[in-house]
Amino acid sequence: MSFLLDPPVLFASGLCLGRFVPEGSRRRRISLAVVGLFWGVSGLLYLDVLPWWDGSRLTRGSGWMLNSGLNTRLTRRAGHDVLAILLFAAYPLWMWFGMRLGRQSLSGRTDDTEIEGERPEPVEITT
């Protein structure tokens, strides 16, 4: 889990939920659990409560969250903390975007209010 990898994984999770789980409280509970899991684990990594195993040794979780295994050498600072809060706040949006796209691809609709097979009545415009 990292700031680079979490958004695409949350989006893909939402896409699967939107496509395969029926609308209702079950979908809502699953999505809340997934976002909560990401918040919990990623938050503990960022706060350095959980270490990260990079294949050869344990490293700081915040290093993994910020660098995602890339050699960017970002470290945790006050400015990064503000950005981290904004990124964490966006986690539910990534899930929602995925669920919305999953619902649209399932129904073949582009708008939630449009019902397949129904066409709107033509409107006459008089001038």
φ/ψ of 59, rounded to 5, equals -125, 175
* 124: in domain: no
pLDDT score for 5: 93
* 23: in domain: yes
pTM of the model: 0.77
* 117: in domain: no
* 44: in domain: yes
* 12: in domain: yes
Q: Provide the residue range defining the domain that includes 11.
A: 6-107
* 98: in domain: yes
pLDDT profile of the chain (127 residues), mean per 10:
92 94 91 96 92 86 85 81 92 95 71 55 75
pLDDT score for 109: 53
- Number of structural domains (the chain) is 1
Q: Whose CA is closest to 23, among 115, 110, 102, 118? A: 102
Q: Quote the DSSP letter at residue 71.
A: S
Q: Whose CA is closest to 24, among 92, 103, 93? A: 103
pLDDT score for 34: 97
- Using the Cα atoms of residue 35, residue 36, residue 39 and residue 40 in order, give the sign of their dihedral: negative
- The DSSP bridge pattern shows strands 52-53 and 58-59 to be antiparallel
